[in-house]
Structure 1
């Protein structure tokens, strides 16, 4: 399992993903779940993945192969004219990989080899876009009423996002909120863990922004994790007593 979140802010996009992959409690590994592509001044894209590791690696490899020779393997993420078309390309690639992985039919393949992805970015001529891509290859786009997407182990980190996220946040505040969401998830589920990969994409720069790997010993991470625990304890003890 893993945990990835993409936020759509008024000023751009923020992505955070963990790196833990497990096939049981005695087989835990670290694999990157966040991938980026850019043509500075023209486009910048970020993809995060959750699900069957072989499936997600195959999808990313195929996308990379297309990018190496875009004129021969059009379309590619470096040539599609819009983020909508980029989402269609990722969705179709994911669908094809899953179908090729099983001879037992689409339903069985999706269950066994399934993966879900978050794609975000900006291509010159349009605003930043954020998409949630399903194993079947279809997708939905983030809107004002649904300005963030989660994939993987989502339930523990969702409450803080629902209660506190505002699209008007600056990047630093948004990253702090994501750290709290991830801290809650990591404390509740062993299948999610550090290091975390952070990527910021500022609107209209058409290039990748701040990129950072957050280790368990990272000073900001430790301060947020410890501070959130203390704040929760203080908030709990400040609540009125229950009459029995």
Structure 2
């Protein structure tokens, strides 16, 4: 890995222009006031800033580099493909060889009947597309009234409008309300609560699945489009594990 070097004047100009021309995602003015962190290189699980300081990339650059930075075999594969075709969209009736090979490989390793892939650029777009697919499915089946989506409290699903609507974090949604109607929030299921499939947000004697079932009956089963959930909620709630069997029971019920 070749580390880039810069003069003090260049560093100052980069920092000034970063704040002048770029609006960061989830911008925090208090942090930006301390000066922007500018990264220039990566190696394995580490990244290096413009001053040469090393950081542990604990979230794999938003999960885009889970194989690590500066992997020679990945660089070689990218270069080889660039020699043939940089990009062509999978649109209407067009495909590419790498796309077909990837889809075939995914079909081999995915469980059950999961064998068809719809390729998207990000998790937010994936969840947004899933919500649209669920809506489209019911519309084509003559049930346009099935538009409500059940998510779980404290869940995170996307920064897009639809994904934000089903994200179970009130502080995350409040800046953009009113959002898309029909979003319902059931309690989480926590493994340690009472030794069963229950939650700290449901009455004693009921399980979180009971509450979800009551919610469906109250809203009307004929109005429910889908259930969206993260099997293990993220860092915003400490990665709580659901009890054994929860996902299977949720699916079958």
TM-score, length of structure 2 as denominator length: 0.24
Larger Rg: 2
Structure number with the higher strand fraction is 1
What TM-score, normalized by structure 1, do the two folds share? 0.25
Q: Which has the higher contact order (CA 8 A, sep 6+)?
A: 1
